[in-house]
Amino acid sequence: MIIEAKQENGIIYNKYETHLECENCGMAVDAEEYASGTCSDCGEPWRPKKHTTVHVTSVPLSGQSN
């Protein structure tokens, strides 16, 4: 899942990605596995192991100096 960067009410929210893996075998969980609750790689009920990747980009704010 990718959450895009946005600005609301003067607050800047960074873009980030969330990846789900099966805790049993470490393979990525796809939409079908997510819905069924069973990992198609190892056949076990997957328990979520969530990884979040954050990409931050610095941008100058108007009226601000370095």
Cα separation, 23 vs 37, whole angstroms: 12
Q: What is the pLDDT of residue 31?
A: 85
The more confident residue out of 52 and 5 is 5
| pLDDT tens-digit series, residues 11-45 | 888 777 777 888 888 888 888 888 898 999 999 98
Q: What is the pLDDT of residue 43?
A: 93
* Residue pair 20/50 in contact by the 8 Å Cβ criterion: yes
At 60, the amino acid letter reads: P
Tell me the β-bridge partners of 12. 7
Q: Are 25 and 39 in contact (CB under 8 A)?
A: yes
Question: Tokens standing for 52?
Answer: 């979040």
